[in-house]
Amino acid sequence: MRERPHRYRRHASIESVLEELGCNGLFSAEGAAWAPQRKLLMHSLSIPHIKAFYPSLKATTERLYPRWQRAAAHGNVVEMTDDLKRYTVDVTSALAFGEDPRTLKKHRGVIQEHLALIFPMLTNRINAPFPYWRYVKLPRDCELDRSLIEAHGYVRNMMSRARERMRDDPSELPSHLLEAMLVMRDAPESDVTDDQVAANVLTLLLAGEDTTANSVAWTLLNVAADSALQQRLFDSSRGVLGSAPVCPDFTSLKQLDLPEAVCTETGRLCPVVAINSFEPLEDVCLDDITLPVGTKMFFLNRAATLDARNFSNPLQFDPDRWLHDGSRPRTTHDSRAYRQFGAGPRVCPGRHLAAVEMRLALSMLMANFSIRMAVNPSTIREMNAFTMVLSAMPVHLSARTT
């Protein structure tokens, strides 16, 4: 993982498939194209930027509250994966593109409907034995084409609006990633194209949506079945939130360790990124095994996190193993074996944002509601749709004050 992008790359099919879909941004960029894009995106996802953006993050989290209050009052089932995807898209768009699509306030016709089709088709095409869609289009390929037209139209409109805002106030410095990319694009003799800007907007929308939303949704399987844990989450979240529905400021977030530990422990058992892929760019030798250039390699995250040499009682769901508060004897705990965000130069640049979103969303849910599953948990399936996602996460909510 450390020897990227010079000695290893992601599977070559990832870049070619994403290029064809107009989404060849930071995730799939390789070689010399990778570093400048990485630098640009890192800034907009850095901790100081997220801290400055906190009021907007809080406002987006507050939108979930009346939505869930209504569902609790009427006894309606909440499909958590949908609500959380709306949440993560609203957050990523406002932070990185300076536009809040307020999908949490809308009924239908939201961008998520199209992103939801793109992700599973990526997996299909990346793993296809040959690019059949160049010769014959199946109904799912036609559907993908329609979703891509919608998603690209959405992104191009957002780019035009950002350009208009910049024209109206040329003295302002870029205040978010999209403006920074457009400044680079429009500079004299720039070699950045509109297509590259659009590809990175789509990359962030895709990378920030399903991953974080499903990470929080997976936790609910464990939380719903454990009333003692719900009580602990209520007590610790209420202690930080006071009488507010949502964590009031960025500094207080640091005290919300239990909600993040619950998400991290869930990710150890049910990782949303279960597989990382690599391909050597030259012949390499690993543990006496020679791998020729271009060998397809898979790094299975769960093998290491379920190994008792790295984590004691590895099959047990135990969020406290991440808290290290000294209240119980130290057991085997090698956090280096947990590679949910990857590692090395290509480690996930959205991990700080994801951690903040997890703390905010789960603490808000647990401080205000108790939850129970609306279906038998055994009917919920794990599906590989580029990330490991849940087939559904329907829950009943009840308002709680104690």
Interface with ligand HEM (CB under 6 A):
1, 26-27, 38, 41, 45, 92, 203-204, 207-208, 211-212, 215, 272-273, 276, 340-344, 346-350, 353-354
What does the block give as tokens for 184? 């680079």
DSSP state of 176: S
Q: Which is nearer to ligand HEM, 202 or 373 (CB)?
A: 202
The H-or-E segment that residue 200 falls in is helix 194-224
Q: Which is nearer to ligand HEM, 21 or 272 (CB)?
A: 272
Q: What is the smallest separation between the CB atom of 350 and ligand HEM, expressed in angstroms?
A: 2
Q: Which is nearer to ligand HEM, 69 or 123 (CB)?
A: 123
Q: What is the smallest separation between the CB atom of 267 and ligand HEM, expressed in angstroms?
A: 7
The helix, strand and coil proportions of the chain, stated in percent and rounded to the nearest 5, come to 55, 10, 35
Q: Quote the crossing angle between the two packed helices 139-168 and 112-126, to the nearest 10°.
A: 130
CA distance 271 to 200: 24
Q: Which is nearer to ligand HEM, 342 or 394 (CB)?
A: 342
Q: What is the smallest separation between the CB atom of 72 and ligand HEM, expressed in angstroms?
A: 26
Q: What is the smallest separation between the CB atom of 209 and ligand HEM, expressed in angstroms?
A: 8
Give me the half-sphere count of Cα atoms (radius 13 Å) on the Cβ side of residue 241.
26
Q: Which is nearer to ligand HEM, 1 or 392 (CB)?
A: 1
Q: Which is nearer to ligand HEM, 72 or 262 (CB)?
A: 262
Q: Of 203, 193, 10, whose CA–CA distance to 96 is shortest?
A: 203
Q: What is the smallest separation between the CB atom of 125 and ligand HEM, expressed in angstroms?
A: 19
Strands (E), 28-176: 78-79
Q: Of 101, 105, 107, whose CA–CA distance to 209 is shortest?
A: 101
Q: What type of residue is 92?
A: T
Q: What is the smallest separation between the CB atom of 220 and ligand HEM, expressed in angstroms?
A: 15
Tell me the CA distances in angstroms from 384 to 51, 145, 218, one per residue in order.
Answer: 33, 21, 14
